[in-house]
Amino acid sequence: MAGAAHSQTPPAPSAAASAPVPKPTPPAAQPSETTLPVVSVKASATKEDATGPVDGYRATRSSTATKTDTPLNEVPQSISVITADQVRDQNAQTLQETLRYSAGVRAEMYGLDNRGDWFSLRGGSDASVLLDGLRLPLTGYYGNVRNEPFAFERIEVLRGPASVMAGQNGPGGVVNLVSKRPQDEAMREVSVQFGNNGHKQVALDLTGPLNADGSLLYRLVALDRDADTQVHHAFDKRQFIAPSITWKPGAETKFTAYAEYQKDESGNTNAFFPIEGTLTAAPNGKIPLSTFIGEPDWDTYGGTRKRIGYQFEQKLNNAWTLRHNLRHDSIDGKMRTMYAAWWEGFQNAAGQPDANGTYLNRLWYFTDDTSRITNADLLLEGKLEFGRAKHKLLVGVDGMNSRMSQRSWGDYPATPLDVYSPVYGTFPLPDLAGVDSSLTKTRVRQIGLLAQDQIKFDERWVLVAGLRHDKVKQRTDSTAADGTQNITDATDSATSKNLGLVYLADGGFSPYVSYSESFEPLGGTDFAGHAFEPKRGKQVEAGLKWSPADKRLSATAAAYQLKEKNRLITDPDPAHANFSIQRGEVTVKGIELEASANLPAWDLVASYTYTDARQTTVGADELRYLDKQLNSVPRNAAAVWAVHKFGAYGLPGLKAGLGVRYVGETTDGIDVTRVPSNTLLDLLVAYEQGPWRLALNVSNLTDKTTIATCLERGDCWFGTKRKAIATVAYRW
Contacts of residue 550, defined as CB under 8 A and 6 or more positions apart, other chains included, come to: none
pLDDT of residue 549: 85
Tens digit of each residue's pLDDT (9 = 90 or more) over 271-288? 999 999 999 999 999 999
* Residue with the larger pLDDT of the pair 524 and 462: 462
Cis preceding linkage at 132, omega within 30: no
Distance CA 474, CA 492 (A): 8
Confidence of residue 524 (pLDDT cuts 50, 70, 90): low
pLDDT of residue 582: 80
Tens digit of each residue's pLDDT (9 = 90 or more) over 554-578? 999 999 999 998 877 767 676 776 6
* DSSP secondary structure code for residue 84 in this structure: H
Query: Strand, helix or coil at 293?
Result: coil
Q: What is the DSSP string of 365-430?
A: EEEEEEEEEEEEEEEEEEEEEETTEEEEEEEEEEEEEEEEEEEEEEEEE---EESSS----SSPPP
pLDDT of residue 234: 96
Distance CA 559, CA 594 (A): 12
**Edge-to-edge strands, sheet with 79-83:** 79-83, 152-159, 173-179, 128-131, 134-135
Residue type, 32: S
Summarize the chain as % helix, strand, coil (round to 5).
5, 55, 40
Residues 440-463 have a mean pLDDT of 95
**pLDDT at residue 86 tops 80:** yes
Contacts of residue 64, defined as CB under 8 A and 6 or more positions apart, other chains included, come to: 79, 130, 133, 156, 158, 165, 174, 176
* Residue with the larger pLDDT of the pair 44 and 418: 418
Tens digit of each residue's pLDDT (9 = 90 or more) over 577-599? 667 778 779 999 999 999 999 99
Cis preceding linkage at 10, omega within 30: yes
Residues forming beta bridges with residue 717, ordered by sequence position:
709
- Tell me how many degrees the CA angle 494-495-497 measures, rounded to the nearest 5: 140
Residue type, 60: T
Distance CA 609, CA 703 (A): 25
Distance CA 66, CA 500 (A): 12
Are residues 526 and 619 in contact, defined by beta-carbon separation less than 8 angstroms? no
Tens digit of each residue's pLDDT (9 = 90 or more) over 660-675? 999 999 999 999 999 9
- Indicate the range of 36-45, 82-91, 425-434 predicted with least confidence: 36-45
Residues 421-441 have a mean pLDDT of 94
Residues 259-266 have a mean pLDDT of 97
pLDDT of residue 26: 35
pLDDT of residue 16: 32
Residues 443-467 have a mean pLDDT of 96
Residues 121-132 have a mean pLDDT of 86
- Tell me how many degrees the CA angle 648-729-207 measures, rounded to the nearest 5: 105
pLDDT of residue 577: 62
Confidence of residue 33 (pLDDT cuts 50, 70, 90): very low
* E-only strand ranges, 664-722: 666-667, 674-675, 678-689, 692-699, 707-710, 715-718
Contacts of residue 458, defined as CB under 8 A and 6 or more positions apart, other chains included, come to: 388
Between the CA of residue 483 and those of 223, 265, 373, 405, 486, what are the distances in Å?
43, 31, 28, 16, 10
Contacts of residue 168, defined as CB under 8 A and 6 or more positions apart, other chains included, come to: 128, 135, 446, 470, 472, 519, 520, 521
Residues forming beta bridges with residue 439, ordered by sequence position:
407, 479
- The yes/no answer on whether domain 61-412+440-731 falls in CATH 3.30.470.20 is no
Query: Strand, helix or coil at 150?
Result: helix
Distance CA 409, CA 363 (A): 11
Residues 235-247 have a mean pLDDT of 98
Distance CA 512, CA 503 (A): 6
> Taking Cα atoms as reference points, which of 115, 47, 109, 55 lies closest to residue 86?
55
Residues 290-313 have a mean pLDDT of 97
Are residues 456 and 390 in contact, defined by beta-carbon separation less than 8 angstroms? yes
pLDDT of residue 25: 33
**Cα-trace Rg, the chain:** 26
Are residues 376 and 396 in contact, defined by beta-carbon separation less than 8 angstroms? no
**pLDDT at residue 12 tops 60:** no
**pLDDT at residue 138 tops 70:** no
> Taking Cα atoms as reference points, which of 146, 211, 147 lies closest to residue 182?
211
pLDDT of residue 141: 64
* Residue with the larger pLDDT of the pair 531 and 696: 696
Distance CA 320, CA 393 (A): 9
**pLDDT at residue 166 tops 90:** no
Distance CA 340, CA 359 (A): 10
pLDDT of residue 140: 57
Would you tell me how many other CB atoms lie within 10 Å of the CB of residue 355?
Answer: 10
Distance CA 404, CA 441 (A): 6
Tens digit of each residue's pLDDT (9 = 90 or more) over 66-76? 999 999 999 99
**pLDDT at residue 44 tops 50:** no
**pLDDT at residue 1 tops 50:** no
Average pLDDT, the chain: 90
Are residues 160 and 562 in contact, defined by beta-carbon separation less than 8 angstroms? yes
Distance CA 394, CA 404 (A): 32
* Residue with the larger pLDDT of the pair 336 and 113: 336
CA 643 to chain centre: 24
Residue type, 21: V
- Tell me how many degrees the CA angle 177-110-193 measures, rounded to the nearest 5: 60
**Residue 517: how many CA atoms within 13 Å on its side-chain side?**
15
Are residues 565 and 587 in contact, defined by beta-carbon separation less than 8 angstroms? no
Cis preceding linkage at 411, omega within 30: yes
pLDDT of residue 137: 67
Distance CA 379, CA 359 (A): 59
Are residues 105 and 120 in contact, defined by beta-carbon separation less than 8 angstroms? yes
Are residues 122 and 102 in contact, defined by beta-carbon separation less than 8 angstroms? no
Distance CA 387, CA 200 (A): 61
What does DSSP say about strands 128-131 and 173-179: parallel, antiparallel, or unpaired? parallel
Size (the chain), residues: 732
What is the percent of the chain with per-residue pLDDT over 90, rounded to a whole number?
80
pLDDT of residue 35: 42
Confidence of residue 6 (pLDDT cuts 50, 70, 90): very low
Contacts of residue 412, defined as CB under 8 A and 6 or more positions apart, other chains included, come to: 363, 364, 365, 430, 435
Tens digit of each residue's pLDDT (9 = 90 or more) over 596-612? 999 999 999 999 999 99
Evaluated on CA atoms 556, 562, 567, 569, the torsion sign reads positive
What does DSSP say about strands 535-546 and 553-565: parallel, antiparallel, or unpaired? antiparallel
**pLDDT at residue 497 tops 50:** yes
> Taking Cα atoms as reference points, which of 718, 727, 728, 726 lies closest to residue 229?
718
Evaluated on CA atoms 167, 173, 178, 179, the torsion sign reads negative
Distance CA 277, CA 507 (A): 55
- Burial (0-12, 13-18, 19+ Cβ within 10 Å), 419: buried
